[in-house]
Copies of this chain bind each other. A is one copy, B any other.
């Protein structure tokens, strides 16, 4: 599957914690970068996400801001 989002990075789930509706997923990318994702709990369960699962993080370019010091 190809997706219009410009930022697709492969990594591995480092941790996953659940609320009633949401799941907070921390994904480790090659080189040690960690990205935090907030998805619905039912999606995390549907996709059988657990620590160690190989995943891609998908981020639209319009959702990436730029900051300078």
- How far does the alpha carbon of A31 sit from the alpha carbon of B37 in the complex, in Å? 21
Q: Is B68 a contact of A24 with CB atoms below 8 Å?
A: no
Interface string of A11-41 (1 = CB under 8 A from B): 0000001111111110101111101111110
Q: Inside 8 A of A54's CB, which chain B residues have their CB?
A: 68-69
Q: Is B61 a contact of A65 with CB atoms below 8 Å?
A: no
Q: Is A46 a contact of B7 with CB atoms below 8 Å?
A: no
Q: Is B62 a contact of A58 with CB atoms below 8 Å?
A: no
- How far does the alpha carbon of A43 sit from the alpha carbon of B24 in the complex, in Å? 12
Q: Inside 8 A of A21's CB, which chain B residues have their CB?
A: 17, 19, 22-24, 38
**In the complex, which of the residues A7, A19, A38, A44 has the most CB atoms of chain B within 10 Å of its own CB atom?**
A38
